Structure 1
Amino acid sequence: MAVRAAQFLALVVSALALIPSGAHLAALPNKIALPQTEYFTIQTIYNGWAILGLLWPAAIIANALLAVIVRSQQWPSWFAAFAALCFAFMLAIFFFWTLPANNATANWTEIPRHWETLRRQWEYSHAANAVLAFAAFCLTALSATTWRPANP
């Protein structure tokens, strides 16, 4: 029963973490070439989204916990561990590329001279995170579907 609960938690948290990342990726083609005024205006739709960033550490913990719980089976454990690693890489990308762009623009309320470079940095870091979130979700699903209960 603990395994199924851990699988469910890891799947739900991983799926929820995919939603904002996927939204950023879906918006990228429509935003990347916008003029500065329109781009900065549209960026305000993300006000309040910072709370969603808590899903990534939650997904790391949920998948790491799943990896430990199913450690008697190599592949389900490895899949969950790699899912946790994907979410950890997402945090690294955020702190090294996304957050500096947010800080340099005061969350897209101030216009620095190199704002277009920052826009690309921000947009493509979110795109990379969307790919990682999808991979992590797939790995979590693989962990859940390859795990087999022990024979009674």
Structure 2
Amino acid sequence: MAKSSRPANEAADIRLDAQLCFALYGAAHAFTRTYKPLLEPLGLTYPQYLVMIALWEEDGQPVKAIGDRLGLDSGTLSPLLKRLEQSGLVSRQRDRDDERQVRISLTQKGQDLKSNAAGVRAAIGQALGCGREEVEALRDDLIALKKRLLKAGQ
């Protein structure tokens, strides 16, 4: 008897809807779509928004530090930074102490954009239909999941 139910369970486990990774993948895409109309008035894409948040937290960071913080490689990050520079939001300068490093700094326009972006987080919370505490708990669960997956991959 156990043998006949086992293949059915294994088959159920192979379905897309049974996959945690697929649910997370779909949620990530839904987040990106939700952010898009909120970020368009700011002239930012979602990855650009993440870079700007990192710089609002700490201005004048090396490109490598931004990439490490966001989990982006230089091939992805460099064109993104060039577009932000062309938009007048950031400037790129070689580090005085280490010419190999490029530091990214906010321009005045980039600093001013922070106040316009202040409502984005609240709008996302409204879109989720969650209160601040529930959003923070969900975020904390996802951070813990990421840490467990990184540890498992070592």
TM-score band w.r.t. shorter chain: under 0.3
- Give 1 or 2 for the bigger CA radius of gyration: 2
TM-score, with length taken from structure 2: 0.28
User: TM-score if structure 1 supplies the norm length?
Assistant: 0.28
Relative contact order: is structure 1 or structure 2 higher (C-alpha 8 Å, sep ≥ 6)?
1
